[in-house]
Amino acid sequence: MTKMKLGVISGSLREGRYGPGIARWFTGQASAHALFDLDVIDPADTPLPAALPLSQETLMDVTGRPEEMRRLAERLERADAFVVVTPEYNHSFPAALKHLIDWHLTQWQAKPVALISYGGQGGGIRAAEHLRQVFNELHAVTIRNWLSFDQHWTRFDADGRLIRDPEGAEAAAKVLLDQLGWWSEALRQARLAVPYQAAA
């Protein structure tokens, strides 16, 4: 069976961010799961202009973008599924992540999205719930299970190794990847059979 492409997005640009380390831990779990080819996407690698195009038509046409921005759009387009790693800032997800999402309209359509959140006592749950609403508007499907790390600074070391309750998190990651695999294959086959068209 052909492996599906999984885009793992690290959603924070804040100095001292934990997102890339948590993304590295998750990609280790996904590699062991062996269902996906992985593409780690860090918005820090491709700064996006502050202003969005005025029209959706201009936003959907990526051919006129600078090369780095065009490559980013193509990577998102090639993905069969996404995992978004997000902290919770001020009861929601980071502005940089929203900006990345808003610059790409069609790349998310009819694809599954799994969420990994981290934060204080709540583990970033509010950020994850807000992202569900955003991806629903973009015709993506957020899967039911997600991973949440409360007090993440006590759970991961500086290299992104999970040092507190690794067995529980690894078991939860497997369930998440199983669900994501099912949705990825089902939606990929559906897109191949009938190209998805969002309502105008």
* pLDDT(200) > 70: no
Q: Which domains, and CATH codes, for the chain?
A: 4-193 (3.40.50.360)
pLDDT of residue 92: 96
The dihedral through the CA atoms of 189, 117, 43, 40 has a sign that is negative
Tell me which amino acid residue 99 is. Answer: H
* pLDDT(158) > 80: no
pLDDT of residue 1: 60
Do residues 140 and 109 make contact, with C-beta atoms less than 8 angstroms apart? yes
- Give the DSSP per-residue string, 24-74: HHHHHHHHHHTSEEEEEE-GGGSPPPSSPPSSHHHHH--TTS-HHHHHHHH
Question: What is the per-residue pLDDT across 33-68, written as a single tens digit (0 to 9) for each?
Answer: 999 999 999 999 998 999 998 888 888 889 989 999
Question: What is the per-residue pLDDT across 92-137, written as a single tens digit (0 to 9) for each?
Answer: 999 999 999 999 999 999 999 999 999 998 999 999 999 999 999 9
pTM of the model: 0.94
pLDDT of residue 53: 87
Tell me which amino acid residue 157 is. Answer: D
pLDDT of residue 183: 97
The Cα–Cα gap between 152 and 21 comes to 11
